[in-house]
């Protein structure tokens, strides 16, 4: 009779020779550290992170975007882009928003959730005169976005 009870207990175990409670206690730390890892990665990919705008990349002087702030990073707009729905964002912020959707087919505006098909560059005069790596990267991303999402034919 005793051997029948132990056989039924052993058959209900997930891993032979290891009690389910011990297995449960081993899984909890892995789940916790996995959660922390995902949250940490999400934090570093977050476009509202303050490291997004480097002080050296900020334009100097007065510009047309000085009074506007980006709804994503809540700072003054740098290398602005305008969506179809006329919302303006930092070029880098919107491009990060686009890339975080894993280059999805349908991109929505972070403000009104309407579909965005084209982006228009709204760089200030000072930003246009700069020849920085950030400007080149934002311009290339905008061109790529427009090529992928606009309904216009691609020139040969």
pLDDT over 60 (residue 87): yes
Q: Bigger pLDDT: 79 or 26?
A: 79
Handedness of CA 31, 100, 97, 140 (dihedral sign): positive
Return the pLDDT at 55: 38
pLDDT over 60 (residue 50): no
Domain-embedded: residue 30 = yes
Q: Are residues 81 and 113 in the same domain?
A: yes
Structure tokens at 72: 């994503």
pTM: 0.54
User: What whole-number percentage of the chain has pLDDT above 90?
Assistant: 19
Structure tokens at 35: 């959660």
Number of Cβ within a 10 Å radius of residue 84: 15
The backbone torsions φ and ψ at residue 107, rounded to the nearest 5 degrees and listed phi first, read -100, 135
Q: What are the helix (H) ranges across the chain? A: 2-11, 20-45, 91-100, 125-129, 133-149
How many domains are there within the chain? 2
Residues 25-44: what's their mean pLDDT?
81
Q: Are residues 85 and 24 in the same domain?
A: no
pLDDT tens-place string over residues 140-151: 999 988 888 887
């Amino acid at each position: 009779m005793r051997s029948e009870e132990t056989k039924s207990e052993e058959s209900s175990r997930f891993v032979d020779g290891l009690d389910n409670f011990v297995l449960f206690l081993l899984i909890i730390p892995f789940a916790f550290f996995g959660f922390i890892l995902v949250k940490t990665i999400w934090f570093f990919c977050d476009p509202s992170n303050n490291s997004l705008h480097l002080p050296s990349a900020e334009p100097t002087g007065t510009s047309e975007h000085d009074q506007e702030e980006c709804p994503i990073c809540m700072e003054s707009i740098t290398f602005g882009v305008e969506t179809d729905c006329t919302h303006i964002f930092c070029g880098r912020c919107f491009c990060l928003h686009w890339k975080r959707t894993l280059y999805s087919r349908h991109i929505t505006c972070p403000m009104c959730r309407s579909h965005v098909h084209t982006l228009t560059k709204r760089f200030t005069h000072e930003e246009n005169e700069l020849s920085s790596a950030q400007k080149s990267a934002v311009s290339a991303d905008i061109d790529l976005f427009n090529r992928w999402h606009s309904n216009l034919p691609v020139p040969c």
